[in-house]
Amino acid sequence: MFSFILKRLVQSIFVMLAVSLLAFALFRFVGDPVAVMVGQETSIEDQERLREQLGLNDPVIAQYTRFLGNLVTGDFGFSYRTRQPIGQMILNRMPATVELGFVALLISLAVGIPAGIYTALHNDGVIANAILITTLIGISIPTFVIGIFLIYVFGVQLGWLPTFGRGDVVEIGWWKTNFLTLGGLRALILPAITLGVYQLTLTMRLVRSEMQDVMNTDFIKFAIARGIDYRTVHYKHALRNSMVPVITIIGLQFGGVIAFSIVTESVFQWPGMGLLFLDSIRFVDIPVMSVYLVLIALIFVIINLIVDILYFVIDPRVRLKAEAS
Amino acid sequence: MGALLEVTDLTVQYPTRFGLFTAIEGINLSLEPGQIHGLVGESGAGKSTIGAAIIGLIPSPGYVAQGDIKLLGQSLPELSQKAYHKLRGAKISMIFQDPQTSLNPLLTIEDQLVETIRQHSGHSYQEARDKAVALLIETGLENAQGRMSEYPHQFSGGMRQRVVIALALCTDPDLIIADEPTTALDVAIQAQILDLIRRLANDRGVGFLLITHDIGVIAEITDSVSVLRGGKLMEEGKTAQVLGHPRHDYTKALMAAVPRLEEKLDRFANILSDEPSLPTPELLWKVDGASDQFATDWLLAGERHTASDGPVLSVRDLDVTFYTDRQFSLGKGTAVRALQGISLDVQPGQVLGVIGESGSGKSTLAKAIVGLVRPSAGRIEFNGSELPLGRERARTHPSRRKIQMVFQDPYSSLNNRRKIEDIIGEPIRFFDLARDKGEQRRIVASVLDLVGMPQRAMLKFPHQFSGGQRQRIAIARALVARPEFLICDEPTSALDVSIQAQILNLLKDLQAQFGLSILFISHNLAVVRQMSDHVVVLKSGKLMESKNSDDFFAGPGDAYSRRLLAETPSLDLLLGA
């Protein structure tokens, strides 16, 4: 297992190098950084001096190495737009996005897995079909429409829930959390549902089809023929065997949820990284964009690694093969 | 002694879009404790449906339409779902065909055994575990105590089937339904498992209902047998009597289609066929000028290998080494030597039979010859000139046409999205054997005719045909390239006995007609016996013996070959037929 993780880590480093190169290219070659920074009345000489100070006249390789070195040491540079250190800006915004993504994932799993099991076991039942059709509608509508719909019903018409912002937050060190106040939790509900609906449908359908496949295997038929409790057959034998592919997809999707929470954050004015990214695009704030790119890649790589490790926990075939080699 | 199981007038039906389908009809059978009753028949005969009906697990939407099943005097179809489920395991249990798939891969065998035992008894965990170990020992698993915590994939096929049998036994059922329990196993393992079943029936008085398509298995261990066809009972009685002196025409035909070890027949005779003999529109549809005669002439018109001296194919010191999955380690993985120092010759117009158990390297040999696998050492010569190995052999290399292959599984060897016309026509186009479209069509239709298929088949897709018909199509595809050398890798092991006999007849005819040289691979000694002029035996990648076929079956020299021959179920019972 150790050598497997080591191998995956080496692969991850290459992925990160590739992404950082892309981010660097974005930073260096999309537009002239100096022209973006300075005002119109800055003289050519001043611009040249700034160029020299920033090291923009150095060979490309040297610049890339410096960029990489800065990233690794946590020096992400400054935003063009706000003149703040980018690391600080992202750290401020990250808790909001992570908490939103986490709750969205929780909703999608807590509803999606039981619904998937139910629809798999009650194939062709009335309720099962109703669930399938409803979620199909859910997955067919774009996220922002769902968001707006929820705002209209629960925010505007019923007035039950807040429709924008994070509400009350509690600061624990630098981490601002929604979880400790009622207002914060209420503010989380609508955006989390909006963000989780797609993943919920996906999880449900995946669990359903995997579970149906597993229910048709010989070992399930054999377990039933041995008179094992149906409950045990379903939850101990079938569910666990359905989980391996489900975990892969859910893991990858979670990366997607965090990376592409942009739309949801924008609809609900949720002050997370997505909104930051959106603002940065609007102002062509390239340093922020390239750091965001690297950060999202890092999140994907880490999630992938966790998914691979989960395989070991679930599937003895993988575990023992790895131990043998 | 009272009957353990009494099935009377059992009928199972499935509602379908086209009305009611009757899977089995009016089945009667009875079984005493400690007896083994065989249900034999070809696919679609309804054997498994009978088993499913008895254990109450007929796949939805099927149902018992009529008749009764009595177990120890209790009528089963009257039971509620819940009461029926209580019975499963406790009174009736089941053994499935494939030990690879019948155990939960994520649970240790200890988990599975203990769970099953405790489901049906008040045993504590430790008591259940002790009982499980005792059972594993009884079923002949070595080091049972130590292996309890292992997962199914850590056991070999035969050992896994022992675990399956232990699982079926662990609740002390009175009746065990064994659905093709040895079909997925090698001959040697099959013999051991059959021994075990016989012993359990004798010692524990468990009644077995043994479902199989293999007459050899029936002959080997059953006390009585029912012969089924199309859901109906053809004949039943004591095994010796039914197999030795069959009364029903179908049973007679079935027995005639079973390949024997004892003698080599020129052809299998007298096979019942469901094909309508009257000319139907299906059979009357013809492509202009297409006929089996045209196919014969066309195939013979190609340039032939001038029957010179020396072998067609000559393999020298062939080694193939595979590396195990490297995903989880940094190194190259461990080397598995699939073939070691194999040398063999195939003489022109002869059939070389390759015998071996699973894992012996038979298929690897075939793949190495056609260039799908790259040997690590050795030479392959075809018609006296050396063949490039593996991918070095260009797609345009002449041997690519001259050596053709027929695969084991006709379900996966034909592309389901293409019409038969395109499938068979592809080699014609690829090897540029006929340019003209009309000519191509005529050839395809004629070759279909030659392999005993209606010409109209060319308009259909593979899924519209049965396994036997698909294998005919696969043979037509191999034939149309005008090969000199045919490799048949277990061409009949996925087929029923009567279909197998038809396919073997076809191969024999084609071989005689076109002077083909054939490498015929099979694990079934009786089939090899019927086909081969010369025989080689492989074991774990090594050549054990190479001998003239008649001499080999009269008395193999090698100890391993002798064992293989001895373990093949004897059909002595049939000799009187």
Every domain of chain B and the residues it spans? 33-45+81-255, 281-304+348-370+393-576
What residues in B contact A224, CB-CB < 8 Å?
Answer: 57, 85, 88
pLDDT digits (tens, 9 = 90+) for A307-320: 888 877 777 777 77
> CATH code for B281-304+348-370+393-576?
3.40.50.300
The distance of A308 to chain B (nearest Cα, Å) reads 11
Residue of chain B whose alpha carbon sits nearest to that of A315 = B106
Supply the pLDDT for residue B381.
Answer: 92
Cα distances (Å, whole numbers) of residue B41 to A28, A98, A254, B303, B481: 75, 62, 53, 45, 36
What residues in B contact A322, CB-CB < 8 Å?
Answer: 328-329
Task: Tell if the CB–CB gap between B330 and A3 is shorter than 8 Å.
Answer: yes
Q: What class has domain A86-324?
A: mainly alpha
Supply the pLDDT for residue B357.
Answer: 85
Answer yes or no: are the C-beta atoms of B258 and B497 closer than 8 Å.
Answer: yes
Provide mean pLDDT across the span B22-41. Answer: 91
Pairing type for strands B313-323 and B335-346 reads: antiparallel
Phi and psi angles of residue A202, each rounded to the nearest 5 degrees, phi first = -60, -50
pLDDT digits (tens, 9 = 90+) for B227-250: 998 889 999 999 989 988 888 888
The amino acid at residue B194 is L
How does residue B263 score in pLDDT terms, banded at 50, 70 and 90?
confident
Residue of chain B whose alpha carbon sits nearest to that of A237 = B104
Is B426 near chain A, with CB under 8 Å? no
> What does the alpha-carbon distance between residue B352 and residue A27 come to, in Å, rounded to a whole number?
69
| Residues whose CB falls within 8 Å of the CB of residue A120, separated by 6 or more in sequence, listed in order | A207, A208, A209, A211, A212, A215
Q: How many CB atoms lie within 10 A of CB B289?
A: 12
Is B252 near chain A, with CB under 8 Å? no
Is 70 exceeded by the pLDDT of residue A111? yes
Average pLDDT in chain A? 83
β-sheet with B335-346: strand ranges across: B335-346, B313-323, B377-382, B385-386
pLDDT digits (tens, 9 = 90+) for B334-380: 778 889 999 999 999 899 999 988 888 888 999 999 988 889 999 99
Please tell me which of the candidates B107, B164, B329 has its beta carbon nearest to residue A325: B329
> What does the alpha-carbon distance between residue A304 and residue B148 come to, in Å, rounded to a whole number?
34
Nearest Cα residue to B222 out of B250, B247, B201: B201
Task: Tell if the CB–CB gap between B334 and A325 is shorter than 8 Å.
Answer: yes
Residue of chain A whose alpha carbon sits nearest to that of B173 = A226
Is B399 near chain A, with CB under 8 Å? no
Is B85 near chain A, with CB under 8 Å? yes
Supply the pLDDT for residue B279.
Answer: 56
Residue of chain B whose alpha carbon sits nearest to that of A7 = B330
Average pLDDT in chain B? 86
Structure-token pair, residue B79: 């039971």
How does residue B10 score in pLDDT terms, banded at 50, 70 and 90?
very high
Residue B48 buriedness (CB in 10 A; 0-12 / 13-18 / 19+): buried
pLDDT digits (tens, 9 = 90+) for B66-93: 899 999 888 888 888 889 998 898 899 9
Please tell me which of the candidates A4, A226, A316 has its beta carbon nearest to residue B116: A226
What residues in B contact A232, CB-CB < 8 Å?
Answer: 115, 119
Please tell me which of the candidates A3, A240, A318 has its beta carbon nearest to residue B329: A3
Provide mean pLDDT across the span B306-319. Answer: 82
Q: Identify which has the larger pLDDT, B560 or A311.
A: B560
Q: Which of B60, B71, B79, B106 has the most A C-beta neighbours within 10 Å, making it the best mutation to test the interface with A?
A: B106
What residues in B contact A238, CB-CB < 8 Å?
Answer: none
β-sheet with B232-238: strand ranges across: B92-95, B175-179, B207-212, B36-40, B224-229, B232-238
Domains B33-45+81-255 and B281-304+348-370+393-576 share a fold: yes
Nearest Cα residue to B348 out of B304, B316, B385, B387: B304
Is A5 near chain B, with CB under 8 Å? no
Is A168 near chain B, with CB under 8 Å? no
Supply the pLDDT for residue B276.
Answer: 46
The full set of domain ranges for chain A reads 31-75, 86-324
ipTM score:
0.79
> What does the alpha-carbon distance between residue B64 and residue B85 come to, in Å, rounded to a whole number?
17
Provide mean pLDDT across the span B93-109. Answer: 88
Is 80 exceeded by the pLDDT of residue A40? no
> What does the alpha-carbon distance between residue A51 and residue B25 come to, in Å, rounded to a whole number?
92
Answer yes or no: are the C-beta atoms of B258 and B492 closer than 8 Å.
Answer: no
Is 50 exceeded by the pLDDT of residue B26? yes
> CATH code for B33-45+81-255?
3.40.50.300
